[in-house]
Amino acid sequence: METFTKQTVQITLRVNGENHSVEVEPRMLLADVLRHEIGLTGTHVGCEQGVCGACTILVDGAPERSCLMFAVQAEGREITTIEGVTPDEGMSELQASFQKHHGLQCGFCTPGMILTSEALLARNPNPSEAEIREALSGNLCRCTGYQFIVDSVQDAAAAKAVNHTNADGGSDKEGA
């Protein structure tokens, strides 16, 4: 009778600015490694088929489904999870906007929505409603009906524009 041993490989993942050395089977999905090996449980796994977007993370700044990517494929790339966009002192501007506009209800889809929105705002600081809806089209939410999520992203974009103007020495409408 043959016995089989699991083949594992040692990889280093750069997650939220920190290196993590982990031993994984080559078939392990990045979502599972993030959650079970590194302990970052903010990445949610919903459909496990790349359809719902709950497991969305940023890989080199672009939204990716971590349930469709093997962990070994992420070696040498910059990975950002929801924990990586959450400041130590509370919430990011976008997270606060989601709270303010009720852009979350059960919260299961929220990490994927936030990370997809962060990527959108990084490449397009002033997106239209249609551009927001297009960017979020791969993220499912069964609770909110999306309008509150769109409102949240629009508000965060406006707040970032005001903060950028103020940082450049300009003034916002309230301070003018």
In this predicted model, what pLDDT tens digit does every residue of 52-107 receive, in sequence order?
Answer: 999 999 999 999 999 999 999 999 999 999 999 999 989 999 999 999 999 988 99
pLDDT at 32 over 50: yes
Q: Where in the chain is the domain with CATH 3.10.20.30?
A: 9-85
Cα distances (Å, whole numbers) of residue 147 to 5, 10, 97, 101: 51, 44, 13, 9
What is the reported pLDDT for 164? 65
Of 38-52, 59-73, 106-120, 158-172, the range with the lowest mean pLDDT is 158-172
State how far the Cα of 59 lies from the Cα of 126, in Å rounded to an integer. 22
Q: Where in the chain is the domain with CATH 1.10.150.120?
A: 93-167
- Is residue 155 within 8 Å of 93, Cβ to Cβ? no
pTM: 0.88
The Cβ of residue 156 has, within 10 Å, a number of other Cβ atoms equal to 24
Mean pLDDT of the region 159-170: 72
pLDDT tier for residue 174 given thresholds of 50, 70 and 90: very low
State how far the Cα of 64 lies from the Cα of 31, in Å rounded to an integer. 11
What is the reported pLDDT for 2? 75
Any idea what the Cα angle at residue 23 is, between residues 21 and 29, rounded to 5°? 100
State how far the Cα of 146 lies from the Cα of 135, in Å rounded to an integer. 12
Please, is 174 exposed, middle or buried when counting C-beta atoms within 10 Å of its C-beta (0-12, 13-18, 19+)? exposed
What is the reported pLDDT for 169? 64
Provide the mean pLDDT of the chain: 92
pLDDT tier for residue 162 given thresholds of 50, 70 and 90: confident
Mean pLDDT of the region 97-119: 95
**For a pLDDT cut of 70, what percent of the chain falls above it?**
92
What is the reported pLDDT for 175? 44
Helices (H), 1-125: 30-32, 82-85, 93-100, 110-123
What is the reported pLDDT for 173? 45
**For a pLDDT cut of 90, what percent of the chain falls above it?**
83
Q: Which fold has domain 9-85?
A: Ubiquitin-like (UB roll) (3.10.20)
What is the reported pLDDT for 168? 63
How far, in whole angstroms, is CA 61 from its chain's centroid? 9
| Architecture field, domain 93-167 | Orthogonal Bundle (1.10)
